[in-house]
Amino acid sequence: MWRDYMRLALTLKRMRDARETERERQIINAQAPQAHEKPQDGGGKDGNGGGKGGNGGGKGGNGGGGVALLCGFCRSNGEAAGLYTSHTLRSREGRVTCPVLRGYTCHVCPRAK
């Protein structure tokens, strides 16, 4: 009989629950910008971000297809929200569009992009 002395079952359950919660958040976040962007475009919440409010307006025009702009690379590296919400990591064709990632150079060979 297996005895859970280290409470691994509880740890695994928490990890599984955290993943499910994160998936739900991603779904909600993908749907939420559509509802929030329309009032921003017509209603004057642009004062929150100053210059970055312009990026939000541009995002609203591109987000009409139902996909919110979000770069996972910049977000996971702790970049400002104004930066990681201004672009996507890749284009629909699979080309890297993240300006931060495209700026890196390989440490093994001198190639970039």
Looking at residue 84, its pLDDT comes to: 87
CA distances from 50 to 55, 71, 82 (A): 10, 21, 11
Would you write out the chain's pLDDT as a tens digit for each of its 113 residues? Answer: 677 778 788 888 888 888 888 877 777 777 655 544 444 444 444 444 443 333 443 444 444 455 578 898 888 888 888 888 889 988 888 888 898 888 887 778 776 55
Looking at residue 52, its pLDDT comes to: 39
- Complete DSSP assignment for 9-20: HHHHHHHHHHHH
Integer Cα distance of 11 and 13 in angstroms: 5
